[in-house]
Structure 1
Amino acid sequence: MHRIWPLPAEPVDDPALADLYAHPEHGHSEHDEPDAAPFVRVNFVSSADGAVSVDGLSEGLGTPGDKRVFGLLRELAQVVLVGAGTARAEGYRGARRPVRGTDTPPPIAVVTGSADLDPGLGLFTDTRTPTIVLTTAGAPQERRDRLTAAGADVAVLDDLGPAALLAELRRRGLRRVLCEGGPSLHGALIAAGAVDELCLTVSPLLAGGAAGRIAVGPGGSAAQSMTLASALHDEGALLLRYRR
């Protein structure tokens, strides 16, 4: 893996990679306040022609460098935020690596309006840290009760808009948020102006087909200017990091 921006271009070992992806609050006291707004980092992989998946899964787009960064981003996060559809499709389970500086992996926080999650999923049966289920009172009580019985930490919110989701995570002291999708959740965060950083791996693959984009949402402009913070090259893949 080589850094190609910022210059000079040079190889990137594990410590250098961790420094590159360190959260911006390091060394900035204003971000150390307990009620500071969460920093939202989004991580996606896409093909060179813009597809978010191959045969319905992102796994077919992964590269060794992408997997390396994926694991690091989880180590640096305090919580992994994901939509229920992505969690089901990708077969999510609990995070494995501890958050840096701790001995506990970050919780997975699943967003679901219906609470329609199988208690037998790895999210609940194969995790060291209880999965947080973010839902509303509109979800059937029996579903919420089943998830609680399976060990989930069920949070009932007024709504599942980005403001409510991030407020709940902040209330729990989870201010370094890593969103891993899906595209609808990413689109909602963009529309709310809540994306602080996008980590995007561009895989050297042309996928074709009818795969969607990394973000979808309602009509209207939600354009948000971003600055290229770093670019890495690894076996034909580009690992790009854009910051607000």
Structure 2
Amino acid sequence: MTVLPPAIADLSDDDLLELYSAGARAPWLRVNFVTTLDGSASASGTTGPLGGPDDLRVFDLLRRMADVVLVAAGTVRDEGYGPMVLHDADVAWRREHGMPDHPVFAIVSGALSLDPASRVFTEPPVRPIVLTSSTAAGSSQAAALSRVADVVPCSDPSEPDGVNAAVLRDELVARGLGRIHCEGGPSFLGTLVAADLVDELALTIDPSLEGGAGPRITRGSSPDLRRMRAAHVLRGEGDVLLTRYLRER
């Protein structure tokens, strides 16, 4: 006997939006990742080969619901991010729900190793935010970036050279960006896990074996297990599984 979860192809976008918003309340920090069966967060160095069209469908819908898309600078570079621009259908939905046309793009960079001339900063529909350390926020690179983005120091007062995850989250919430959608990468997710700030993990499981040295979805040190509960499991094209887990608090 074969027992499989419901097919995502049988669900409308409205159905999926209801599933992925159930139980979420602002402030809310959602993390979205893809992994292979053997635990790799990438194939040949990027996530592109993993997940397929249904993962992309959910990816777009999660951005649609977000106030801010949060990404570490290394992932922005590795995945070739451009400006944060949504599809027309997503913009129309946001307008109907009283939201700005596009979410804010927030980039985490302790070293400010970002190019102010990149398309991320020269072509966005909404001015991006760069979240950095208090020390870096006073640098000449910060001054250059401040012409194209809001540069926000997010350090604990006792550690001015580091980016504190809780301070970062609070800075976004204070700006009215309470529905936070994080897209990586592994080191940053490790920081969020250690700080116990992850409210939700939307995890796509690609039915493949990477078999190499790809990273896990999270990297770092956390003293405790963070228990999650399953909210749903859906089956996509090619037996991809799209799961949603909520933090047990």
**Length-normalised TM-score, structure 1:** 0.87
Alpha-carbon separation, structure 2, partners of 1:23 and 1:146: 41
CA displacement at 1:186 relative to structure 2: 0.7
Q: Identity over aligned residues, as a percent?
A: 43
| Residue matched to 2:75 | 86
Alpha-carbon separation, structure 2, partners of 1:147 and 1:23: 37
1:157 alignment partner AA: C
* Cα contact 2:8–2:236 (8 A) shared by 1: no
* Cα contact 1:40–1:177 (8 A) shared by 2: yes
| Residue matched to 1:12 | 11
Distance 1:207 1:10, change over 3 A: closer
* Cα contact 1:201–1:237 (8 A) shared by 2: yes
Alpha-carbon separation, structure 1, partners of 2:152 and 2:187: 20
The DSSP-based 3-state class of the residue aligned with 1:158 is coil
2:212 alignment partner AA: G
CA displacement at 1:4 relative to structure 2: 2.3
Q: Among residues 150, 154, 159, which one is paired with 1:157 in the alignment?
A: 154
| Residue matched to 2:20 | 21
| Residue matched to 2:159 | none
* Cα contact 1:94–1:107 (8 A) shared by 2: no
CA displacement at 1:24 relative to structure 2: 2.6
1:238 alignment partner AA: L
Q: Among residues 104, 120, 129, which one is paired with 2:117 in the alignment?
A: 120
Aligned length, in residue pairs: 228
| Residue matched to 1:199 | 202
| Residue matched to 2:236 | 234
The DSSP-based 3-state class of the residue aligned with 2:220 is coil
Unaligned runs of 5+ in 2: 157-162
Alpha-carbon separation, structure 2, partners of 1:13 and 1:104: 22
1:181 alignment partner AA: G
CA displacement at 1:138 relative to structure 2: 1.8
Q: Among residues 51, 56, 68, which one is paired with 1:62 in the alignment?
A: 51
Report the structure, 1 or 2, having the larger helix content: 2
Alpha-carbon separation, structure 2, partners of 1:208 and 1:120: 37
Alpha-carbon separation, structure 1, partners of 2:224 and 2:102: 33
* Cα contact 1:45–1:202 (8 A) shared by 2: yes
1:210 alignment partner AA: A
**Length-normalised TM-score, structure 2:** 0.85
RMSD value, Cα: 2.0
* Cα contact 1:46–1:214 (8 A) shared by 2: yes
Alpha-carbon separation, structure 2, partners of 1:174 and 1:10: 31
The DSSP-based 3-state class of the residue aligned with 1:17 is helix
* Cα contact 1:190–1:222 (8 A) shared by 2: no
